[in-house]
Structure 1
Amino acid sequence: MTLRDSKPVLTPLQALARYKEDLSVRLADNSMAVLPGVIGTVYFERGSQPPVRQAILDCFDRFEEMFGEHLKGGKDTDLGKFTKRTFAGVEKIRRAILETPAHEQVSVLRSSSTDQDTAAEYSIKTLTGIAADEDYISPKGWTAFKGQESGLSYMKFNVPMDLVTTQDGITQYEGFVRYVCENLVVHGGYGGLAPILAYSYHRYASHEWALAKRFSGLEIDSTAHLQSQEYDPISYEGESLDYMTAFYPGLHPGAKVCRWGFIKGVNWYTILGDFFVERFGGEAALRKALDRPDIHIEHIGSSLLIRAGDFPRLGAPEEGLPEPYVFVNSVLRVLRDPKPDGLHLYDPYLPHADTKNARTWTARFDLPDAPPIPEPPTIVPYPVKRKPVRHSVPGGSPCPEAGWWQTPAKADSRRYFEAGEIMPIFAGSKWGATNWIYSEDESTS
């Protein structure tokens, strides 16, 4: 079953011309509480460490270079005041990123808004994990060692939807997504159209939910800072979490699963870190499953960037579900949580993305005949030892197995490739086409 070519497609320009007012919430004082925008959200490793703090600052500085003329406000601590920022105020944000101790969170924001009650057309923010400043020995016997990270960090940015109504704007957006993925060790993330809520987002969660129900291409992302655990697997030993005898960041073979690790879902951009790529079966398997002209896949840093179509889709009622998103979801849905939690904080008075609604929303791109998503195991399985790939691989293809490879198309070509690394082509060789052959180990001639 497919939805391809069954309904009209709105470009971002057409969607904005038709629905801009519907996608906005204007307050009595004429300020905007909700705006149509484009987001990029990533969850990344080692946010407490100095080299990563520098990489975070590099991302903030690049955003400033690209959009600084619009950036007027911000905040430099989690409980700090959201204010208009002079040069000195911006430097305070930059120093907070670099100088906050590793055992404290960096929670900073740079924004085109100067207060927490107005939605920002341009914004970038981060919330980092922390590292233990000393060994912690539990009364139950397990230890969290000094320097151990508490979990993943997150970074989110947004730009106005107007930006992606031109090819130059799309290029700017994509360039920044690539820059972030080049500089951070990304576990996962996503990007696409979304309602941009004021920093004081709680009061507008019901608006976000109403928009997401109406327009399937919109991401619910006001609580992205609360979702980092979903991308961060952990395991333990012992009778229960309350009676652990050992604790492991990540999935330790033979240990009990505390968090299996899932992706939130798909959008225009779906970003998969190496962990999820390997869980699927490797980059070659992913590329094969997603092999379609309108699906663009790019390996950057520690992650795969998967783009569903040439531009982000609103999923307006007359469009129906964006078909490229449905296709990518049909492949990647096995990486989703079969029982996700809510995406909004509980509100007894207004409809919102509580657990029931969130489960319906995350499954919106599933086809009617889609099988149930498998439940995760309760015990971390031991890795299956795979035989090395022995057949030849054409140049220009991703390496299917980490190891030593060589090609008769060039003398002294033997070298080590990482899995997923693109294997080069040697044009004009007397051997003809470049084909790489697996060489079992470094000592093999």
Structure 2
Amino acid sequence: MLQTVPEAVGIPGRLKDQANQLLADAAQCRPAARLGLMTTLYFKHGHTEQIRRRIEECFTHFYDTFRSALDWQSYQRLRKLSPSSFSICRRQVLESSPDEPLLWSISSARPVEAATHCMSVMAPSQSQAATDHSCLKMLLPWSFLMERDGARVYEGWIKYLCNQTQAEHGYGGLVCVLPGDGLRYLPLEYELARNYIGLMVDAGPHMESLRLLDRIKGVSWYSVLGNRFVHQLGGSDRLRSVLSTHSDVVFHTYENGLMIRAGVLPALGGKSEAPSSAYVAVNKVLKPIRVQDTGCLHPCPGRGIGFTEQSTAQWYARFDEKPMASVRAGQPCPQTGHWFSSAMARSRRFFNKGEVMPAFEHLKAERTQWFWTDFSG
């Protein structure tokens, strides 16, 4: 199902407004951050010849598509990117030993700068492959989505990368892009993430990989679920059924699972804005497989400015629905749905919003409490 034409037409404008406000906030700090469109995928068998060949194909496709924007390459050492240096690194990757980890990136910027375009991979050696995921990242400028057919082209990219890596899980959405040469810029990401809940915190996906062996990070614009996670949630048909009332939630399959898109374009959110209803709906479905041992998103928050373990847990729960407060008899129902009262057995029934909650003959109205029950999903 698709959103109505007026709704769809207004979405790019809202995203532009949100992005411009975020960049204005970021510009108050030095260096200014970039707003980027990040794809992060976790996968297995990154030490094998087959998967490393697929990784090389991903890099070649990215290089051929965005060659004019790419200037730097890192494989064993940082070097200027040129057709010859890229060819040399491709060959070295294909000839690399499974006993050696793979660390490779091509980028528009040096580590001391915030990139606009980047593809990077981290794959552990064969001896560590059983206890750690490999991770592939692709960064594009957020404005890529404003180009003609930009959202459709990006969808093709994320599906291609999922197929190439046989992704276990991952996400695609908006991130704060910072220089990659140290931890001193993390307070900026922290401040922006507090104000824009649609922003994915992606400062250290490699560091997070150990926590994400059997859990996912959570909802983003695109949420990638491998088949084992789809099965844990009851299967593809159940997921589609539960989210069928949300016209802006779209499913796509790839060779190893499902991609769930929440909205026509990603939602940054913003100060005083309500969370995206599509993100909230998808988050609710994904919550059972979301990481529970959240740790700390930032390894070394400086001077208390950055994610702590407490604020990290709050960030992961940012799209969780708040518990509905109980309602006393005689008060209007605040939410259409099913409610029950502990004062009477088998009292669960459906109420419309605004309907007066009833009392029971054997109890005074002020002692009768009704409680929300949400059995959907």
- Correspondent of 1:224 among 179, 184, 205: 205
The whole-number CA distance in structure 1 between the counterparts of 2:182 and 2:32 is: 9
Partner of 1:105: 101
- Correspondent of 2:162 among 172, 176, 181: 181
- Correspondent of 1:298 among 239, 243, 252: 252
| Aligned positions of 1:59-78 closer than 5 A | 59-77=58-76
- Deviation readout 1:69-97 (Å, 9 max, x if unpaired): 101112012xx23x322223222332342
Partner of 1:268: 221
Partner of 1:42: 41
- Do the aligned partners of 2:42 and 2:170 also contact (CA within 8 Å) in 1? yes
The whole-number CA distance in structure 2 between the counterparts of 1:211 and 1:17 is: 13
Q: Residue type matched to 2:177 in 1?
A: I
The whole-number CA distance in structure 2 between the counterparts of 1:59 and 1:155 is: 10
User: Counterpart of 1:22 in 2: which secondary structure?
Assistant: helix
- Correspondent of 2:120 among 109, 116, 125: 125
Aligned-pair CA distance for 1:344: 1.0
- Deviation readout 1:14-36 (Å, 9 max, x if unpaired): 32344332245774xxxx55211
Partner of 2:373: none
- Deviation readout 1:248-301 (Å, 9 max, x if unpaired): xxxxxxxxxxxxx21111011110111111111111111111213211111101
Partner of 2:91: 95
Partner of 1:163: 144
Partner of 1:331: 285
Q: Residue type matched to 1:74 in 2?
A: Q
| Aligned positions of 1:416-435 closer than 5 A | none
Q: Residue type matched to 2:241 in 1?
A: K
Residue 185 (structure 2) pairs with residue 204 (structure 1): yes
The whole-number CA distance in structure 1 between the counterparts of 2:231 and 2:290 is: 15
Partner of 2:172: 191
- Deviation readout 1:308-353 (Å, 9 max, x if unpaired): 0100111111433122101111111111123311111123524112
Q: Residue type matched to 1:46 in 2?
A: H
- Do the aligned partners of 1:130 and 1:150 also contact (CA within 8 Å) in 2? no
- Deviation readout 1:360-386 (Å, 9 max, x if unpaired): 00100001118xxxxxxxxxxxxxxxx
Partner of 2:366: none
- Deviation readout 1:220-267 (Å, 9 max, x if unpaired): 0010111222332xxxxxxxxxxxxxxxxxxxxxxxxxxxx2111101
Q: Residue type matched to 1:101 in 2?
A: S
| Aligned positions of 1:25-36 closer than 5 A | 27=30, 34-36=33-35
For residues 217 and 131 of structure 1, do their structure 2 counterparts lie closer, same or farther at Cα, with a shift above 3 Å needed? Answer: same
Aligned-pair CA distance for 1:168: 1.9
User: Counterpart of 2:126 in 1: which secondary structure?
Assistant: coil
The whole-number CA distance in structure 1 between the counterparts of 2:314 and 2:59 is: 35
Partner of 1:289: 242
- Do the aligned partners of 2:22 and 2:192 also contact (CA within 8 Å) in 1? no
Residue 341 (structure 2) pairs with residue 341 (structure 1): no
The whole-number CA distance in structure 2 between the counterparts of 1:229 and 1:204 is: 24
Q: Residue type matched to 1:112 in 2?
A: S
The whole-number CA distance in structure 1 between the counterparts of 2:29 and 2:97 is: 40
For residues 19 and 205 of structure 1, do their structure 2 counterparts lie closer, same or farther at Cα, with a shift above 3 Å needed? Answer: closer
* Contiguous gaps of at least 5 residues in structure 2: 1-6, 325-377
- Do the aligned partners of 2:251 and 2:259 also contact (CA within 8 Å) in 1? yes
- Do the aligned partners of 1:192 and 1:269 also contact (CA within 8 Å) in 2? yes
The whole-number CA distance in structure 1 between the counterparts of 2:265 and 2:302 is: 37
User: Counterpart of 2:175 in 1: which secondary structure?
Assistant: strand
The whole-number CA distance in structure 2 between the counterparts of 1:336 and 1:289 is: 18
Residue 9 (structure 2) pairs with residue 11 (structure 1): no
For residues 92 and 199 of structure 1, do their structure 2 counterparts lie closer, same or farther at Cα, with a shift above 3 Å needed? Answer: farther
User: Counterpart of 1:202 in 2: which secondary structure?
Assistant: coil
Partner of 2:3: none
* Contiguous gaps of at least 5 residues in structure 1: 133-143, 233-260, 371-445
Identity over aligned pairs, percent:
28
For residues 167 and 361 of structure 1, do their structure 2 counterparts lie closer, same or farther at Cα, with a shift above 3 Å needed? Answer: farther
For residues 159 and 97 of structure 1, do their structure 2 counterparts lie closer, same or farther at Cα, with a shift above 3 Å needed? Answer: same
For residues 92 and 344 of structure 1, do their structure 2 counterparts lie closer, same or farther at Cα, with a shift above 3 Å needed? Answer: farther
Residue 80 (structure 2) pairs with residue 84 (structure 1): yes
Using the size of structure 2 for normalisation, the TM-score is: 0.78
Aligned-pair CA distance for 1:167: 4.5
For residues 92 and 23 of structure 1, do their structure 2 counterparts lie closer, same or farther at Cα, with a shift above 3 Å needed? Answer: farther
Partner of 2:55: 56
Q: Residue type matched to 1:86 in 2?
A: S
Aligned-pair CA distance for 1:150: 4.4
Partner of 2:353: none
Q: Residue type matched to 2:19 in 1?
A: L
Partner of 2:271: 317
The whole-number CA distance in structure 2 between the counterparts of 1:97 and 1:33 is: 34
For residues 185 and 25 of structure 1, do their structure 2 counterparts lie closer, same or farther at Cα, with a shift above 3 Å needed? Answer: farther
Aligned-pair CA distance for 1:68: 1.4
Q: Residue type matched to 1:325 in 2?
A: Y
For residues 194 and 348 of structure 1, do their structure 2 counterparts lie closer, same or farther at Cα, with a shift above 3 Å needed? Answer: closer
